[in-house]
A and B are shown apart, each in its own frame.
Chain A
Amino acid sequence: MSETVIKVENLTKVYSISHQGEGSATYSKSLRETVSDSVNSLGQKLFRSSSEKSSNSNRENFLALQNISFEIKQGDRVGIIGRNGAGKSTLLKILSRITEPTSGRISIRGRVASLLEVGTGFHPELTGRENIYLNGAILGMGKIEIQQKFNEIVEFAGVSRFIDTPVKKYSSGMYTRLAFSVAAHLEPEILIVDEVLAVGDVQFQKKCLGKMQSISQDQGRTVLFVSHSMDAIQRLCSKCLMLEKGTLVANDVTSNVMAIYFSTNSQESLPNTWIDLSNVNRSGTGEARFSKFQYSSFNDVTSSNPYPDGALEFILSIESDQRRSVGSLAVTIYNNLGVKLVNADIAALGQIVTLNEGQNVFKLKIEELHLNPGMYAIGFWLADLSSKSVLDFVEPTFNLEVVDSATEGFGGKRSSDVAVTCKFSLSAIE
């Protein structure tokens, strides 16, 4: 029976951003105007809180969060994802009471400790030992508590040899480890962590995730975790919240939210239809570019969608500014974490194609696609090996759904976390 520890109702946060006037426009105001304006607004500002709307046209209201509502139960490990500027850090700041909401209501049960930045309050002149006390006190630990946990903290960070040197001499890795270590030993009922694992090597990240996991599983504490690393979120969090431009667009189990995140950041592409590639993120010289493509697996059961170990054919239309020969042309398939899984490149075949001026159409056939059912993204690549220049690189924008050929109808999402298929058999020996 878990009770609700955080309940957010209709939370809204508005920021007032000022547009500092451009050069001559501000100077052309007469002195009398400037002085009377300032006296007026000074009086207003001193006696009103700054979140109220001012009549100044140089200020614009920016909605950082709009009407957010959700509930979090005790012991949950909740991930918060979203693009940059979606409002994740603002939400955390409000939950940590660093800033006030503009409207809405939040009720929290239990002590909250936030790690919004690694090493908050660390002073470079003080030693590691002194900083542990300082940082611990800032995060809410009492002196006695810090003393009791001191050795544990030092050991988790692995800096026992340097504990009495000023922190300004530490490497950035040591610094991060020490800072995280103090926060990890806080024992709050609710722990809020914002993107701090971005700094730090893989071992450290694993250690931190492991610690957060044990905090929530073994001690029944709640963890809120913001990260851009989908990998970390999938490992740690059972539930996920997704924010986009200040609104809550998803509140569900991680796999479902991941699928939504992935699909909102890529576009749908159906088989047997030409898909236009003129408005995609691309790089390269552009002397020859992919203009459109289509694909098909020629399987009626899957409605021409690709299926495991089946054939998949791409038709690619390339426009070139002049006649040239190209040594590398590839169709690349990525998983939802951005990992390249399949790279069908003619360079591997040692093949060279000749492009004519104008439109060229090619057929690239993958004989057997060894991918399990799931959502993937497609990217394209065109490069001239002799001059070593990249002509066109289309970033993975359109998605591709590999469906199960055994069941009828597509869209059955088997949450298989293994991407690659293989042919295998089992037999008894003796």
Chain B
Amino acid sequence: MNDQQSPKTRELVIEAGRTEKQYWKDLWRYRELFYFLAWRDILVRYKQTAIGIAWALIRPFLTMVVFTVVFGNIAKLPSQGVPYPILVFAGMLPWQFFSNALGECSNSLIGNANLISKVYFPRLIVPTSAIIVSFVDFMISGMILLGLMAWYNFVPSIRILTLPLFILIASAASMGVGLWLAALTVKYRDFRFVVPFIIQFGLYISPVGFSSSIVPEQWRLLYSLNPMVGVIDGFRWAILGGDSNLYLPGFLLSLSLVFIFLWSGIWYFRKTEKTFADVI
């Protein structure tokens, strides 16, 4: 009996303002909760729907069609010799991921208010699982991209192998901004109205419907202050191959911004986490 007890009887001390190294161990201990919260959100989305999971395919597909028609056929933005739908899709894919993740993430804490005020678990799990849900959507949309490539007989170059790196950067971007917004939304509900606005605005200034090569040379660096510019450019570079070039200074700037956001996001979240249950 005593042998079994000794590994369990580690002492936990709770004190005001104490930084818990315990926290990161707890994140590992509660790792299954990442999966379960994401699973719950996905399941609930399609409960009592007639066509269920098919919606996950229809939405991105229709968006792609609309974009192709509007930006390709009507606005006639140049496409650098690549089939226009694939150009759009390669840019839309990371953007959709980012905007969904951002939207879900910022509302995740107040949406799970009942959990936060009644149960203990590392709160970082909540926004992260929101991002996981968006990631699942992203993977499904990725399948449509594969379908498109097959349709146009478009064979990607070797650069596609770098795609996981860009996916990681996109996740980091959405996580960084998402954590800031999630923590701020708990206390100041104003941010619930700010986020949709950011997303709508961002859609037009990010190179989704067009390629960033149309931005004049002298403005390109400034343009890269939008972290998604680097990510979307990276995606296009990896998927489309061929002539599309990666504007390196801009990319590095976006990359560093992503990391700044991520680091400060985690810092702010951890700082305010203790007050969530009291304020929410």
Distance of A50 Cα from B278 Cα, bound (Å): 10
Q: 7 tightest CB-CB pairs across the interface, nearest first?
A: A137-B36, A106-B14, A97-B120, A100-B274, A125-B47, A99-B277, A120-B118
Interface flag for A98 (CB, 8 Å): yes
Q: Known pairs A117-B118, A139-B119. 5 more at Cβ < 8 A? A: A51-B16, A101-B16, A120-B119, A121-B119, A138-B36
Interface string of B15-36 (1 = CB under 8 A from A): 1110000000000011011001
Cβ 8 A contact of B274, one of A49, A114, A139: A49
Whether A126 pairs with B44 at a CB distance below 8 angstroms is yes
**Are B119 and A106 within 8 A (Cβ)?**
no
- Does A323 count as interface, using CB distance less than 8 angstroms? no
B275 touches A51 (CB 8 A): yes
A112 to B14, CA, bound (A): 13
**Shortest distance between the CB of A394 and any CB in chain B (Å):** 40
A266 within 8 A of B: no
A114 nearest CB across to chain B (Å): 7
A93 touches B44 (CB 8 A): no
| Contact B275–A49 (Cβ < 8 Å) | yes
A100 touches B16 (CB 8 A): yes
A94→B279 contact, CB < 8 A:
no
Q: Chain B nearest CB: distance from A424 CB in Å?
A: 48
Residues of A within 8 A of B217 (CB): none
B274 contacts A104, C-beta separation under 8 Å? no
**Partner among A98, A110, A134, A143 whose Cβ is within 8 Å of the Cβ of B8:** A110
Residues of B near A110 (CB, < 8 A) are 8-9
> Is B32 a contact of A137 with CB atoms below 8 Å?
yes
Q: Can you list 26 contacts pairing A with B, beta carbon distance less than 8 Å?
A: A3-B9, A15-B278, A49-B271, A49-B275, A97-B120, A99-B277, A104-B15, A105-B14, A105-B15, A106-B13, A106-B15, A107-B12, A108-B13, A109-B9, A109-B10, A114-B119, A114-B120, A116-B118, A120-B114, A120-B118, A123-B40, A125-B47, A133-B36, A134-B40, A138-B33, A138-B36
- The reply to whether the CB of A294 lies closer than 8 angstroms to some CB of chain B is no
Instruction: Flag whether B192 is at the interface (Cβ < 8 A).
Output: no
Contact A99 B274 (CB under 8 A): yes
Interface string of A117-145 (1 = CB under 8 A from B): 10011010110001001100111101100
Binary flags per residue of B113-127, CB closer than 8 Å to A gives 1, else 0: 011111111000000
Q: How far is the CA of A117 from the CA of B278 in the complex (A)?
A: 16
With the chains together, A102 CA to B116 CA distance in Å? 19
Scan A1-25; emit 1 where CB is below 8 A from any B CB, else 0: 0010000000000010000000000
Q: Is A189's beta carbon under 8 Å from chain B?
A: yes
| Contact present for A109 and B47 (CB under 8 Å) | no
> Does any Cβ of A come within 8 Å of B73's Cβ?
no
Q: Chain A residues with Cβ under 8 A from B14's Cβ?
A: 94-95, 97, 100-101, 105-108
Residues of A within 8 A of B (CB): 3, 15, 45, 49-51, 93-112, 114, 116-117, 120-121, 123, 125-126, 130, 133-134, 137-140, 142-143, 166, 189
Chain A contacts for B39, CB-based, 8 A: 134
Please determine whether B12 and A138 come into contact, CB atoms closer than 8 angstroms. Answer: no
Known A-B contacts A98-B118, A114-B120; the reply to A103 vs B9 at CB < 8 A is no
Are B120 and A105 in touch, CB under 8 angstroms?
no
Contacts of B277 on A, CB cut-off 8 Å? Answer: 93, 98-99
If A138-B33, A143-B32 touch, does A121 touch B12 (CB 8 Å cutoff)?
no
B3 interface residue (CB < 8 Å to A): no
- In whole angstroms, what is the CA distance A101 to B278 when docked? 11
A137-B33, A138-B33 given; A107·B11 CB < 8 A? yes
How many chain B residues touch A (Cβ–Cβ < 8 Å)?
Answer: 37
The CA-CA distance from A374 to B244 in the complex, in Å, is 91
Are B119 and A98 in contact (CB-based, < 8 A)? Answer: yes
Q: Complex Cα distance A100/B16, Å?
A: 6
Residue of B43, B114, B278 near A126 (CB, 8 A) is B43
| Complex Cα gap A3–B1 (Å) | 14
B271 touches A108 (CB 8 A): no
Which B residues touch A112, using CB under 8 A?
120
* Proximity string of chain B (203-233) to chain A, C-beta cutoff 8 Å, 1 when within and 0 when not: 0000000000000000000000000000000
B29 to chain A: which residues have CB within 8 Å?
A: 140
Q: Which of B11, B119, B274 has the most CB of A within 10 A?
A: B119
Task: Check B48 for interface membership: any CB of A closer than 8 A.
Answer: yes
- For A96, A97, A106, A123, which residue has the most chain B Cβ atoms within 10 angstroms? A97
> Which chain B residue lies CB-closest to A189?
B8
Q: Out of B12, B119, B272, which one reaches A49, CB within 8 Å?
A: B272
Smallest beta-carbon distance A47→chain B, Å: 9
B residues near A109, Cβ cutoff 8 Å? 9-12
Q: Which residues of chain B are within 8 angstroms of A98 by Cβ–Cβ distance?
A: 116-120, 277
Are B271 and A125 in contact, with the CB atoms below 8 A? no
List chain A residues, Cβ under 8 A from B120. Answer: 96-98, 112, 114
A139, B187: Cα distance in complex, Å: 26
User: In whole angstroms, how far apart are the Cα atoms of A38 and B274 in the complex?
Assistant: 24
Q: Please, what's the 1-or-0 string for B248-280, where 1 marks a CB less than 8 Å from any CB in chain A? A: 000000000000000000000001101101110
Q: A101-B14, A137-B33 are in contact. Are A130 and B274 (CB under 8 A)?
A: no
Instruction: Known A49-B274, A110-B9, A130-B43; judge A102-B16 contact (CB<8 A).
Output: yes
B77 to chain A, nearest CB (A): 40
Flag if A138 contacts B8 (CB, 8 Å): no
